Structure 1
Amino acid sequence: MLDIKAFFSRLLKDRPLTEHLMISVIILIVLIIASLSAFSYYEAQSGLEERERLLQIETEQSIIQWMTLVDEGLKMYDDTLDLRMKDSFEGFLEAYQDSGGDPSRMNLEDLKTGLDNTMDLYIINSSGVIEYSTVAEEIGVDFSQIPEFYQYLTSIRESDNFSADRVVRESSTGAIRKFAYMPTPDHRYILELGLVPDLLKDRKLGLSYVDAAEDLKKINRNLQSIRIYDIFGKTVGNKSHVPTPLQQERIKAAIQERTGNQSYDPANKTATDYIFIDLFDPDYPSDMSLVIELTFTTAPLERSLNSIFFTHLLIALLALLISMILAFSLIRYISKPISRMVADVDQIAHGDLDHRIQHTRGVELTRLEESINAMVGTLKSSLTRAQESEEALKQTNENLEKIVEKRTADLQNANAEANLYLDIISHDINNVNTIGLGYVHILRRRLSGGDREYAEKITRTIHRSSGIIHNVATIRMIHQKRLPLQPVDLDRVIRDEIAHNPEARIHFSGCEGLKVYADSLLSEVFSNLISNSLKFMEKDGDITIRVSDEDREIMVSVEDTGPGIPDELKEVIFNRFKRGSERQTGKGLGLYIVRSLVENYGGRVWADDRIPGQQTAGAAIRFTLVRVAEKEKGRQG
């Protein structure tokens, strides 16, 4: 997507104000003229297209009205022939009865002669097939292929009534005939007469679908051609015309759906409308409905639209040229005093503080001139004061550097002293504790009763002291050394820590082959968690260590059957110096170490209930570690 702000920024970068104004005004003028021209063009285009659409609608409505009027006229003429044809069936029925109901014994040619050769005779069986006729081409025509017409014929055969049809074209010869039907008394056959009307034969009636359609071309100059198709898709009038496959498809769709459709041919610049005119009359067996194909040329419309487009484009370009000339002259007039002021400011900026801005026209520019002159005077005074202050600032900076150097040295000494104390705690005091444990061990063997119990308490106290020193050393190592992470065998680390607590009941089902990213201090996590659980449980309590593989993460859970952790402490027990209970010792460093190590390994740790919802049923410390992928395991192997 185009960033307008960035576009203008690149366009106007490092250009003088005159060009800034000129480019901005030109862009504005282009946008305004383009918008007005586009609006005017689309208004003209819409008006022209609307006129063409209305003319096309008027043309379509006219063809529908004319076709309907022609059909009504033909229907009125058809009805005048009904009585004549009904009387003609008397001899036809008499001949059928004389034959004993066997059409093969009837002489149809003699009957036709008796009707002055004005009518052809047809006999249709119960299957809808013409078995006998004076028109050889019609014998064998099967009306069952036209389900609706065959159903109508069946209803005639089963009745006792005379039925007249419209003037239609014979399917085999294409001759125009007026058909009428009469069932035989035994209802086995339908007797049919086909009359060629004199007026239609000689075209004296003056009613023609084709002639009416041709008159329509005078209404719409864009109407290229009109073709008429009957309900069977056959061309009415121009017999030499053969519809293309696309035309046949459109005509068939209009007949089946009994509605119109449209198609457009961009290559030939034509639009073709197929209009379905519903002329079906339930009083007649034949459906006289028509499909009218109107082909309009779009070339005149396109030429008009192109002419309108180029006219609007020419006017827009002319307006743009005149606007740019006027804008350039106006901007030059406005920007001239600003350019002089810029030259004066540039001279001042190069160090000539005694130079003054020349007088300009315009209230705003005059005020700007006075303000700049006042500012230059103030700047000159400020520079003088700044030079006087520079020496004092230089002296202050030198003193400040000395103070920083001294404080840095003090911090380094304090850090060295703190490390010395830590070394004393972790080494010398630990050595003293070791010696003390040796003496107490000797006393425990020699004492008994209450004295022996005091010796055991001293032993536990010394062990706790050593634990505190160990925790401090561990924390120091975490913050100072930052050991690199590498694949560590989790199963081996857990089993080693279990082995260090042989007196505890620790359950672990194993996790062979599972490696995580950690360092040599991973064992401290399990050591602190096991010690923490033992501290709060009764002597017969159990510890369970569970390991589950969750795709990229490994979740470890150290659970015990102790008194559990209250909900209000679950979020804070991992903080430094936070005690979970008065029974806990060691200044709350164990769980802080656990959290520090787990987070260094890219995991997270939290406190939970061993059994969800049962806080007093025991505690569970759960944490995650990053699993080593199989590919990296292979490289390690």
Structure 2
Amino acid sequence: MGNNKPLSEKTRSFSHSLLVVMIVLVIFLVAIMTVYDYIDLKNMTDNEFSNLQVQTEDSITAALHLDDTATTIIDDQLDQQMVSGFDILFAEYNRSGENPADMNLTRVKEIPGEGYDIYVINESGVIVYTTYPPEQGEDFRNIPYFYLYLTKVRLSQGFFPDRVVREIPDTGTFRKYAYQPTPDHRYVMELGYSSPSFNETNLRLDDKDTIARFVSFNPFIDEYHIFDMMGRSTDDNSLPDNRTETVLRQVIASRQTTETDDPVNHTETRYLFVDLENPEFGSDMSRIVVLTYDTGRVRNALNRLVFVHLLFGGCAIVIGCILAYWLSRRMTRPIENIAHDADIIASGNFEHRIGTTAAREFVILEKSINTMVDSLKTADQKLNDEEVFHQDLIDQIPVGIFLKKMDMGKYVFWNRASEEIFERKALDVIGKTDEEIFPAAMAAQIKREDAEALASRVEIKYKKITTKTRGQCVIHMIVVPIYDSQRSVRYMLGIAEDVTDEAVTLKKDLIFSITRSDILEQLAVIMTYLERAQLKTTREAMQTFFDKTIGSVESIRNQIAYERAFQSPGIITPKWQSVNQAFAEAIQMLPEPNVDISSRVGDVEIFADPLLPRILFSLLSQSFQHGGPALSKIQMTARQSGESLVLFYEDDGKGISPGEKDRIFEFGYSSENMVSLFVIRELLGFTGITIAETGTPGQGIRFEMVVPKGRFRNKK
């Protein structure tokens, strides 16, 4: 049906293809340029961003270290002056009987000079007395690291200077502190110093002004903040928002620089940790500089680049479409004329010729097609003659030959012999599929056979079919896949021959061979018993031998009767049979057995040759002839293994040696009257059943018969 579609539904015009190619080419080039420029600009912007970031942060770190060094120099100049102040303070402490409550701190404060304040800190880290009321009652336990420092001072001896720090709360005042423990180690005496000139000097060294200058050089920084080790802003000692405070605590605890991203607002915040800690002092002057970078600048620049490229690409696509349309119209007109003439020639009119064109390239094409048409005309005549000859030749072959095209599953050839074998005319087969010709079950079987032929490259088998005039027949089939130059399956070739008469003759010969061998064996037993009977003198002994002789004669009678039952032509057809019943019939053909014979197969039926009882009788005969004096038990069992059924025939005789396990099934092999196993294997093989001997030598025979899927069922 696919060949009947209009040409426009299956193919596209040359102009359309050219247009699509040019659009795809322009889009590809614009995309390559956009991606390249995007990556290049992004790398350049990222490098600039990274370099400015490193430069800014390094400059801020260096400036803070420089300010810290300058502040340390100022601190050192005040240390000696504060040592003298402690001498006066401790003289007053001794005068008061080492009781701070009785000390006149106001008078002592005035002795060193203007700008000094006195603080008395108890064991709990609380300022209990001071000349500076705003810090009365300050509890340093809220600053753990500083409380540990004060405790260390209180338990030590000597003078402990500290750094210049901002006053809390921030009033724009800087103070210089120093500490010295009392001799009884109950208190820590603290001196604080601040004056207008001292504040002015420290303000000039203030870190926030220095950092502001460096930040102004980086266009990517939106804002910045400076925090001390207490998490407070150095501008006004205020606490930050909760989110910033959480990150600050992590930075203070780890003493490492960290960063956070805000994809929504396109910002990146760097928490730059500048380590200014000096173990000689109680105050940690380290700073955390919070720098907020605007990453949206990079994104906006990249977006502008993409927009420009898309605009350029759109213009290029429009221009490309116009050029492609003009060029395609110029080229497709002569091609359409040539295609029209070629369609006429393709329909079988080899007298038609390609019309003339103006373009040189198409003139060459015109001459080439006309030359090709002349060659096709001559070749077509020869091909028709040869096809008629081959058709007549194959029709005269006395075997069935048929050909099926695999892409559609339809038969394209069916010779006269095929008509006779399958009793179906070629007119009823050609152009039809298996489902249209045969019943559903047979069509499914043919499909499986085709699949097996594809897997093995050839399928050779005997197949049983039912015809209207000849009934059931045996067909020898050969199915071969035919491949094209691309190694794809193009046809399935079948060769069939009716071998019903040969199969019937073979089956009868097999029956006669088995029966003849077994009857001769029973006659030999009878003769042996008769010879021994002549030596007996009592009536009882002779009666025993006559009874055994009668059993052998009865066995011969049963076998001859069984053979007669299979003299009709229908013996070649397999059928569903009960394994238990077939085994019971096999036992009846034996002379009176003297061993325990049992069957535990159940109600299973198998699709097998009608000679199944005769096959099982032959296995019983092998046990009696080969089992020896140890034989006492024979049994049949069954077990399902995967999708197959396994039938087990076992006895407890002497078994078969390993060297004979495979040889006993060979044609013509004879060892201790074991002559019918080849025939048994052939009879079972008619329905796909396999047989093998798997017993252990010295422990008995064990035959395993494997029945394939679909050839066994439970008795209904």
Q: Same fold (TM over 0.5)?
A: yes
- Report the Cα offset of residue 219 of structure 1: 0.9
What does residue range 481-496 of structure 1 map to in structure 2 within 5 Å?
A: 481=574, 483=576
Match of 2:375 in 1: 378
Residues 456, 66 of structure 1: alpha-carbon distance in 2 compared, 3 angstrom cutoff: farther
How many residue pairs match? The answer is: 601
Unaligned runs of 5+ in 2: 1-6, 398-414, 423-468, 475-497, 537-544
Match of 2:244 in 1: 247
CA distance, structure 1, for counterparts of residue 92 and residue 191 of structure 2: 14
CA distance, structure 2, for counterparts of residue 621 and residue 253 of structure 1: 81
**8 Å Cα contact 1:228-1:290 kept in structure 2:** yes
CA distance, structure 2, for counterparts of residue 162 and residue 539 of structure 1: 119
Amino acid of the residue matched to residue 595 of structure 2? Answer: A
- Report the Cα offset of residue 47 of structure 1: 2.0
CA distance, structure 1, for counterparts of residue 276 and residue 170 of structure 2: 23
* Residue 504 (1) aligns with residue 595 (2): yes
Match of 1:186 in 2: 184
- Report the Cα offset of residue 164 of structure 1: 0.8
CA distance, structure 1, for counterparts of residue 616 and residue 562 of structure 2: 18
Residues 203, 595 of structure 1: alpha-carbon distance in 2 compared, 3 angstrom cutoff: farther
**Alignment equivalent of 1:72, drawn from 69, 72, 94:** 69
Deviates more, 1:179-188 or 1:552-561: 552-561
Residues 317, 405 of structure 1: alpha-carbon distance in 2 compared, 3 angstrom cutoff: closer
Deviates more, 1:428-437 or 1:321-330: 428-437
3-state SS, counterpart of residue 229 of structure 2: coil
- Report the Cα offset of residue 271 of structure 1: 2.4
Residues 156, 460 of structure 1: alpha-carbon distance in 2 compared, 3 angstrom cutoff: farther
Residues 235, 173 of structure 1: alpha-carbon distance in 2 compared, 3 angstrom cutoff: closer
* Residue 587 (1) aligns with residue 587 (2): no
**8 Å Cα contact 2:681-2:691 kept in structure 1:** no
Unaligned runs of 5+ in 1: 1-9
Match of 2:52 in 1: 55
Amino acid of the residue matched to residue 178 of structure 2? Answer: A
Render the CA deviation track for 1:588-613: whole Å, top value 9, x for unaligned: 3446667888x76xxx9765464xxx
**8 Å Cα contact 1:467-1:586 kept in structure 2:** no
What does residue range 164-183 of structure 1 map to in structure 2 within 5 Å?
A: 164-169=161-166, 176-183=174-181
**Alignment equivalent of 1:223, drawn from 221, 224, 246:** 221
Amino acid of the residue matched to residue 75 of structure 1? Answer: T
Identity of matched residues, %: 26
CA distance, structure 2, for counterparts of residue 79 and residue 489 of structure 1: 115
CA distance, structure 2, for counterparts of residue 298 and residue 457 of structure 1: 113
- Report the Cα offset of residue 350 of structure 1: 3.6
- Report the Cα offset of residue 64 of structure 1: 2.0
* RMSD after superposition: 5.4
3-state SS, counterpart of residue 292 of structure 2: strand
CA distance, structure 2, for counterparts of residue 291 and residue 11 of structure 1: 74
* Residue 266 (1) aligns with residue 274 (2): no
Match of 1:369 in 2: 366
Give the TM-score normalised by structure 2.
0.67
Match of 2:630 in 1: 540
**Alignment equivalent of 2:298, drawn from 285, 297, 301:** 301
Match of 2:209 in 1: 211
**8 Å Cα contact 1:272-1:294 kept in structure 2:** yes
**Alignment equivalent of 1:96, drawn from 93, 98, 111:** 93
**8 Å Cα contact 2:269-2:293 kept in structure 1:** yes
CA distance, structure 1, for counterparts of residue 526 and residue 556 of structure 2: 12
**8 Å Cα contact 2:23-2:321 kept in structure 1:** yes
CA distance, structure 2, for counterparts of residue 554 and residue 390 of structure 1: 51
CA distance, structure 2, for counterparts of residue 548 and residue 406 of structure 1: 44
CA distance, structure 2, for counterparts of residue 53 and residue 346 of structure 1: 68
**Alignment equivalent of 2:280, drawn from 283, 296, 310:** 283
Bigger relative contact order, structure 1 or 2 (CA pairs below 8 A, ≥6 apart): 1
CA distance, structure 2, for counterparts of residue 143 and residue 493 of structure 1: 107
Higher helix share: 1
CA distance, structure 1, for counterparts of residue 560 and residue 94 of structure 2: 131
**Alignment equivalent of 2:43, drawn from 37, 42, 46:** 46
Amino acid of the residue matched to residue 211 of structure 2? Answer: A
3-state SS, counterpart of residue 276 of structure 1: strand
Amino acid of the residue matched to residue 340 of structure 1? Answer: N
CA distance, structure 1, for counterparts of residue 593 and residue 104 of structure 2: 127
Amino acid of the residue matched to residue 584 of structure 1? Answer: M
**Alignment equivalent of 1:198, drawn from 196, 200, 215:** 196
CA distance, structure 2, for counterparts of residue 321 and residue 36 of structure 1: 18
**8 Å Cα contact 2:275-2:287 kept in structure 1:** yes
**8 Å Cα contact 2:177-2:193 kept in structure 1:** yes
Amino acid of the residue matched to residue 196 of structure 1? Answer: S
Give the TM-score normalised by structure 1.
0.74
CA distance, structure 2, for counterparts of residue 145 and residue 11 of structure 1: 87
Residues 57, 431 of structure 1: alpha-carbon distance in 2 compared, 3 angstrom cutoff: closer
Match of 1:355 in 2: 352
- Report the Cα offset of residue 275 of structure 1: 0.9
